[in-house]
Structure 1
């Protein structure tokens, strides 16, 4: 017999309930919940027997509340690491800045702490984007192409390093400090490039371009109170556009050759000019010495002539003969002499002209026929006449 049929299952359902039990009373359920809550918070609990108060419930609530308060207070402890600073916000407004170390704040939702790394080196790139490890950087033409003062276009790649100098200004004075710095960097480099010529930017003016760019950037950030400090600015690359790179390289090479030739010419001039000046000075000194020697010689001869004139006036004949003999001695002492023996007037005179010429040209002494071992030499006889002996000639000095 089924449990739900009359008389079956002893009037009980499968769960042991009474078969005639209806749905639970909603008022009864609410009343029971009120009794439980009242016992938890120390109120009177309804009992069928009219029971007493629930003092133990109040003690339990107080304990839980105390533990929660302690945990809440301890949640306000925080630690700032080295190289960082904390900014405490109270109800969203700045309260104080905290340095590295342990600190306490009023826990949430009263105080909040924002930690800023003031020693971290941050980077911003203008004109290019660095690739991942092993990948080349990618150019950004919209940022890289800039117009110079002489209306040429250059491709600039700039890297800027910066760090936070004032956490409060960094968090509150600008909405996006990093974006502000990037815009300031691009504006500064365009200003510097726009007031410089192309050759200056690409060659000797790179250091000045970097210095002026950094100065303009820092002034701009300080005017915004952005709380940022520029650490370093690097001009990674400065080249003409790719379309004219080959032609520009040729122009640069020609300019370099010009400078090289100019330097070589200057080096040659620096070498030859001192030599020429030294030679000129030496010749001047030699000329001065020759001049002085001639003057001294002329003065000496004039003095000697004056002395001879005095002697000549005293004894003209003797002085004249003595001068003649001295002159002949001086002249004949330096030349070869030929002595002719004229005892036999019938002999043909023969002069050794070849030897005389050799002596006068080579400075060698003539050798006479007798001294050279040769005796009387014969000359060719005239046609139709017999040969005649040549006079013996002696050569002496």
Structure 2
């Protein structure tokens, strides 16, 4: 150390004396408390604190800077830090929602560095709008630390539902959704997750309550999921929730164990009824074509018989008209001809015995039995067919 150094005035230590020793009349720390004494528990005097801080800054800073200037620099530094606190970063897939004095001001959708007025004037809340969120209805799911496996447990108050035919089904469903409006999601609804879950439960119970049990547990799952998705989205849009329902998945839909036995009996009865109906349909399909064909045949035969009878009657009428016309021209001749034709019809198959009253001889005129020359069987048939004997005189 040079002599000039000894000649320079030493800078005063703001927290103690110049030689590093302790003084009983001056506290060791700048806040007025004595180490180890009871004064450490007393609140500091604000005026004394400011005075000592000013003295300390005056000792630390160069001699040409006054205490007021030092406070100005300190205030400027604090102001710069406060203004710098307004910078924020919007990450990919996020939106920044800016509030001014608690009310929504704007939404920053561009990625990267941006700025808002420092708190408490404005504040920003970043919302991940690209993440696909998942909500379970009817069950809880817990994952292991590695995230590869999970354990599921039913929540009966959510999963048990009543169908339109008064049956109970146990249904587990997964709702997948994301955010389409960050400001609506933050400010239009409270307790967003719980609100979405309640809306989803209401929609599921509405659709299941309007559907029979069999479609719910078998072939109607896709249609039910589609209806539930539409109802959830409609209700959330009415709330201006800013939520977009991406997909609704039914993971489990089965009969409640307490009614499983009764359900099996009902299904067996339905199957028996269906088998009987199928058998009856098959028998009907076999009988009906035959009956239709028989009916058509009968109708055709009746039509043919009708036409034949009409033709026969028409022929008889025409013949009678012709005979009548001939009769008008010659009544005696016509009568004789009709008589002869009639007698021919009557006596054609009868056994004939001819007696001639004009013959001078007594007895029966010899008659050549031409009919007896025919085969006996044919003669017998002719006799049996006539059944009578005609005598001509």
The normalised TM-score by structure 1 is 0.56
| 2:295 alignment partner, SS class | helix
Query: How far apart are 1:204 and its partner, in Å?
Result: 8.2
Distance 1:118 1:279, change over 3 A: farther
For 2:194 and 2:90, locate their aligned partners in 1 and report how far apart those are by CA, in whole Å.
29
SS in 1 for 2:195: helix
Q: Which moved more, 1:190-199 or 1:289-298?
A: 190-199
- Note if 1:291 corresponds to 2:306: yes
Confirm or deny: 8 A CA contact 2:98 2:116 kept in the other structure: no
Out of 30, 38, 61, the residue aligned to residue 61 of structure 2 is: 38
| 1:95 Cα deviation from its structure 2 partner | 2.6
Is 1:27 the counterpart of 2:17 in the alignment? yes
1:233 lines up with 2:248 in the alignment:
yes
Structure 1 unaligned residues grouped into runs of 5+ = 1-23, 45-57, 331-341, 344-348, 358-397
In structure 1, what is the equivalent of residue 322 of structure 2?
A: 307
Aligned to 2:273: 258
Q: Distance in 1 between matches of 2:228 and 2:57?
A: 76
2:95 is matched with 85
Q: Kindly report which structure 2 residues correspond to 1:43-54, keeping only aligned pairs within 5 A, or say none.
A: 43=65
| Root mean square deviation of aligned Cα | 5.1
Distance in 1 between residues matched to 2:335 and 2:57, nearest whole Å? 176
Query: Which sections of structure 2, spanning at least 5 residues, go unmatched?
Result: 1-12, 21-54, 350-366, 382-393
1:253-284 CA deviation, whole Å, 9 max, x = no partner? 32144235335534654665465345424422
The answer to whether the Cα contact below 8 Å between 1:311 and 1:319 also exists between their aligned partners in 2 is no
In structure 2, the residue matched to 1:118 is 129
Q: Is the 8 A contact 1:210 1:235 kept in 2?
A: yes
2:125 aligned counterpart, secondary structure: strand
* 1:296 Cα offset (Å): 0.8
The farther-off stretch of 295-304 and 227-236 is 227-236
Q: Distance in 2 between matches of 1:94 and 1:29?
A: 60
Which moved further from structure 2: 107-116 or 195-204?
195-204
Question: Partner of 2:17: helix, strand, or coil?
Answer: helix
Q: What SS does the corresponding residue of 1:113 show, helix, strand or coil?
A: strand
1:199-218 pair list within 5 angstroms: 210=225, 213-214=228-229, 217-218=232-233
Q: 1:250 Cα shift?
A: 3.3
Of residues 69, 76, 91, the one that matches 2:87 is 76
**Number of residue-to-residue matches in the alignment:** 299
How far off is 1:315 after superposition? 4.9
- Following TM superposition, by how much is the alpha carbon of 1:216 offset from its aligned partner in structure 2, in angstroms? 5.4
1:291: how far off? 0.3
Query: 3-state SS of the aligned residue for 1:27?
Result: coil
- Secondary structure of 1:307's partner? helix
Distance 1:276 1:288 in 2: 18
